[in-house]
Amino acid sequence: MRMHLPAGTPEIRTIDWLDHLPSTSNGNPRYDVHFTDGTVARTQSDAMCAVGIGNPEFRDVPLAVWLSRAGRITHLMRADKYEENKPTRVIFRRWYRQCDGTGIIALFPGDDAGRGMVQSFEHIGQHGPADLAGVIRRTKPAAEAEYADLMRELESEPYRYNLRVIKRSPH
């Protein structure tokens, strides 16, 4: 089952030990979390993760840890669960000319299809390799209303993607 993930990219760390701090004014636990890489981070006040961080499921396993700008732990989950639910970056583009394609194409810049190509998806043709730069030259950005049907298809059975729409290739 897919779950909602917080924004941003987590750091993968393993807890070494916890230092229990005085509870918040709301009675919620707080911790200084010592990781095996020697770093220490404090749980954010009244963050839900502080309630469960002492559970055995988080011991001796890699965790996906989200930190605030101030370096406080805001969310965490087992890294294996994060990988199962990790968002897939997608760029939606609309073909300029009918001879190039019909409608909207989804490009997955993080999914290598070999020989310098990336994975792509269209209603007709489904999955296939695509030259990212070449497709970008022959298309224009698709509006949300234009790609909504294709996005719905990708997020439903049998694909079940957890998509994060980006406007530009990170390369």
41 neighbors 67 (Cβ within 8 angstroms): yes
CA distance readout (Å), 129 to 31, 37, 60, 90, 116: 47, 39, 39, 14, 9
Residues 118 and 142 in one domain: yes
Could you tell me which residues come within 8 angstroms of residue 49 by beta carbon, excluding any fewer than 6 positions away? 43, 73, 74, 75, 76
Give the pLDDT score at 145: 94
Token pair belonging to 153: 């298809």
Residue 131's nearest CA partner among 113, 158, 148 is 113
* Residue 150 sits in the same domain as residue 119: yes
Same domain, 23 and 73: yes
Asked whether residue 99 is assigned to any structural domain, the reply reads yes
In a domain, 3, yes or no: no
In a domain, 124, yes or no: yes
Q: Judge contact between 43 and 52, C-beta under 8 A.
A: no
The Cα 109–Cα 88 span in angstroms is 9
Contacts of 97 (CB under 8 A, 6+ apart): 138
Q: Decide if 146 is inside a domain.
A: yes
- Do 106 and 39 lie in a common domain? no
Share of the chain above pLDDT 90, in %: 47
Same domain, 116 and 137: yes
User: Is there a single domain that holds both residue 100 and residue 158?
Assistant: yes
- If pLDDT is split at 50, 70 and 90, which confidence band does 51 have? confident
Last residue of a domain, one of 59, 84, 109: 84
- Tell me if 170 is assigned to some domain: no
Of 55, 84, 113, the domain-final residue: 84
Same domain, 95 and 148: yes
Domain hosting 58: range is 11-84
CB atoms within 10 A of CB 35: 16
In the chain, the number of structural domains is 2
Residue 13 contacts by C-beta under 8 Å, 6 or more apart in sequence?
Answer: 35, 36, 37, 39, 62, 63, 65
Q: Does one domain contain both 91 and 160?
A: yes
Q: Which of 35, 59, 84 is the last residue before a domain boundary? A: 84
Same domain, 41 and 70: yes
Give 5's pLDDT tier (boundaries 50, 70, 90).
Answer: low
- pLDDT tens sequence across 104-121: 999 999 888 888 899 999
pLDDT in tens, 62-88: 999 999 889 999 888 888 888 777 788
Residues 37 and 71 in one domain: yes
φ, ψ of residue 29 in degrees (nearest 5): -70, 155
